[in-house]
Amino acid sequence: MTPILLLIAGAAVFFWWNAARAAAERATQLGRNACEAAGVIWLDQSVQATGLRLRRDGQGRLGFERSFRFDYSYDGVQRHTGKLVLHGARLVSLAGPTRPDPIVSLH
């Protein structure tokens, strides 16, 4: 019976790792797209996982909500931190770069 339990545990670990990798790749894509849309520099070319929790979606299905952070810069000197939250592959929230307002001259 022990080999079967080890096989089940190994499969569970593999699926957990695979889902975490897929979420990180999706977060990377979304972070990069947000920076491109805002016209800012995406620093480090990566995201960092910052949180994981069990949560229900809008239809009541239970799933994992993963939080990620990424860094960006408007001028290449100062770093700013953005945050995004995914429930599965769906973007739940994004707090990050915005396109700066143009400076209006009153001359």
What residues contact 30, with CB distance under 8 A and at least 6 apart? 84, 86, 91, 94
**Structural domain containing residue 66:** 2-95
Q: Residue 44 domain-assigned?
A: yes
Residue 101 CB contacts under 8 Å (≥ 6 apart), including other chains = none
Could you tell me if 19 and 87 are in contact, meaning their C-beta atoms sit under 8 angstroms apart?
no
| CATH code for the domain in which residue 44 is found | 3.10.450
**Tens-digit pLDDT profile for residues 20-73:** 999 999 999 999 999 999 999 999 999 999 999 999 888 888 989 999 999 999
How far apart (Å, rounded) are the C-alpha atoms in residues 74 and 62? 38
Residue at 101 is within a domain:
no
Tell me which H or E stretch contains 67.
strand 62-73
Give Dmax (Cα) for the chain.
83
pLDDT tier for residue 75 given thresholds of 50, 70 and 90: confident
